[in-house]
Structures are given as structure tokens and as C-alpha cells.
Amino acid sequence: MLKITLKSPGEFIFNDVPEPTLKEGEALIEVKSRGICAGDICQYKGKKLDLCPLPSVQCHEFGGIVREVKNSSKEIKVGDKVAVFPHVNCRDCFYCNSGLELTCDNDKIFGINIDGGLVEKVAVPLRNLVKFSDDFDEQYLSVLEPATVAYHIINGVKDSNVVIIGVGSIGVMAVPIAKYNNNKVIAVDIDDNHLKTAERLGADLTLNVQEKDNDKKLKDFLGKDKIDFVGMTHLNEQLLDWSISVIKKCGTIVFIDILEEPFLKVDFRKMWNKIVTLKGLDSFYFKEFEETAKLIEKRVINPKDVVSRIFPLAKIKEAYDYKISENALKVILIN
């Protein structure tokens, strides 16, 4: 079967390798949908290699068709359409035993430290699979992973004034989720096309960070109201300082971005004075993976809204270059 490895920045190699042998409790997945993540692009461009070194069989956003099951489980069967939860938790460390598997000490991640979805077939633990309906379009199975990141950012925030900074594929999916929970949403980005998509998906106000009258627009929109919550998919000093300035006292700022440079200057006096909670987020829980799948099935999140283009797997380099040059939302690779 085909396996594609990112050997060095910008260089993919194609290999023919044997199909994986299943262990008890695993399923063999024929991969049908692969999402290109911003993290994959960083490796492709030679960035953040201290966190995610090369060579790498990338792709932690993927799903496909079950071709074999080595277990008596009736929940997952041959022919099912499934998305793959990328974290393989040990279920034995302090955090797993405390119900905090997100922070598992021995976490393995498809596409990061174990081979990901850039293969024709992959062995996956049955407990990592979420099944979709038979009529779901298989080419969109990979959208569940980034959609769950969006869900994790905004999950639990209701009846509030919400700012989403960075409305790429993850941030823009946070918009309909936030609206589903009766929030007012202000979308912030540098790309007018992304902002137009956010507006189409329900954003009540859009702000381009390059414009000078954003504070006035925000004040006019809010009236006497305040910003309760800021979710950041992109983080830098300017945006963080602005977020601290606009958030209400005792408000919450969360960020999901992995910075290229690990250090930022932060005005902690301003944070202290406003009693702001600043929280870093890392991925999501399996329960959230299941809950987001239900939102996709109900079309609260429509994958077609965030997919810019679909490429055949053989044109992987063209797909990566397209995502970079066009600042595209989600780009998908299919067989």
C-alpha cells in the first residue's frame, strides 16, 4: 500500500509498504479523507520542527471506511464510515485515571509521533473511532477533527458576547457553534474572505485587524454590554494585549495556537487589575469528538462551508502549495 512521508521541508517521498497487521481491539481503516492542518503546513515550511521533527507521516485529521475488525464489537463493523480520534491514550497514567486523558503522560498522536493518515490503510484502536451515518459524504470525514478543536474552544460558553480571533478553518467553525449556544459573535481576522465566510455562518460583527476604527465599531456594537469571552486561534503580542483590553473584568481568554516563538510580552498588571483568566488549550476529549460529530450530522456545522478545495492524494504537494498561496480554509486529500 502507499505511504507518503514528509522527508524534509517541501519534500514528500512515496513508498510501497505492507498493510498493517491488526491487533485485538483494532480496526483496519481505508483512509478516504485527509485534512491538511496548519501544523502540517508548518512542518512543510520547516517551522516548529523542535516540536514536530521530520521525517513524518503526517495527517492527524482523517477518516475512512472500516475494512476489517479484530474484535467482537457490534458497534463498529466492516463498511462503517468513521472518523479517527487522533490521540491514543495510555489509560494508565495519573491523568487518564483522573478523567483527564487529554493530558495523558504517554499520549501518542496519529500524524505527530505515530504514522498518520498519509497512507492507504491504517490500524486504529476501536475506541478511537466515531461512526457517521451511511449517507454521510465520506470525503468530509476529516473535518470532524478541526471542528472538535473549534468545539473545545467555545464549549460551555452560552448567552454571552464572544470574540473569535482568527477565523481560519477552526475559528470559522467556532462561529456556528457559538451561535447555536445563543452567543453574539465578533469575528476578527486579517483576511476579508475569511471574515465574509464568518459573517455568512452567523457572525454578528466582523473586524479586520488592519483597520483603525475597530474599537469604535466594537463599542458601537456592544453599547453598554461587555465582552465575556475571547477565543484565539492565532496569538501574538498585539492581539493578546487587545484581548485583555476589551475583555470584561473576570472574563476569560483562551488560545489554541502553538506559537512559532514561545515567549510573548504580557501586561500582567492589566490582567491582574481585571482579574482575567488566560487559558491555553491543547486538543480535546473523546467525548467532545462524539458531541461534535452529532453537530455535523445535524448540520449545525456544515463541512462544505469550510472546505476550500479537494485534491487527489497523488497531488499532495500541489495541495499544500495551494493552501499556502491562497490562504485557504480547509484543504482535503482524497483517494
**Distance from C-alpha of 148 to C-alpha of 63, rounded to nearest angstrom:** 14
**Distance from C-alpha of 231 to C-alpha of 86, rounded to nearest angstrom:** 23
Query: What sign for the dihedral angle of Cα 194, 306, 175, 263?
Result: negative
pLDDT in tens, 267-299: 888 888 899 999 998 789 999 999 999 999 999
pLDDT tier, 126 (very low <50, low <70, confident <90, very high otherwise): very high
Q: What is the pLDDT of residue 297?
A: 96
Give the CA angle between residues 87, 329, 194 to the nearest 5°.
Answer: 130
* Mean pLDDT computed over 11-33: 96
Contact 25, 10 (CB under 8 A): no
Q: Please give the biggest Cα pair distance in the chain.
A: 64
* Mean pLDDT computed over 7-19: 97
Q: Look at residue 51 and tell me whether its pLDDT is greater than 90.
A: no
Return the domain boundaries, the chain: 2-136+302-334, 149-280
Q: Do 2-136+302-334 and 149-280 fold alike per CATH?
A: no
Closest C-alpha among 66, 205, 181, 167 to residue 125: 66
pLDDT tier, 48 (very low <50, low <70, confident <90, very high otherwise): confident
- The full 3-state SS of the chain, as one line of letters, equals CEEEEEEECCEEEEEECCCCCCCCCEEEEEEEEEECCHHHHHHHCCCCCCCCCCCECCCCEEEEEEEEEECCCCCCCCCCEEEECCEECCCCCHHHHCCCHHHCCCCEEECCCECCCCECEEEEEHHHEEEECCCCCHHHHHHHHHHHHHHHHHCCCCCCEEEEECCCHHHHHHHHHHHHCCCEEEEEECCHHHHHHHHHCCCCEEEECCCCCHHHHHHHHHCCCCEEEEEECCCCHHHHHHHHHHEEEEEEEEECCCCCCCCCCCCHHHHHHHCCEEEECCCCCHHHHHHHHHHHHCCCCCHHHCEEEEEEHHHHHHHHHHHHHHCCCEEEEEC
Q: Look at residue 335 and tell me whether its pLDDT is greater than 90.
A: no
* Residue keyed to cell 466594537: 218
Is the CATH code 3.40.50.720 the one for domain 149-280?
yes
Q: What is the pLDDT of residue 183?
A: 98
Is the CATH code 3.30.390.10 the one for domain 2-136+302-334?
no
Q: What is the pLDDT of residue 260?
A: 67
pLDDT tier, 195 (very low <50, low <70, confident <90, very high otherwise): very high
Q: What is the pLDDT of residue 304?
A: 96
Closest C-alpha among 123, 40, 85 to residue 283: 85
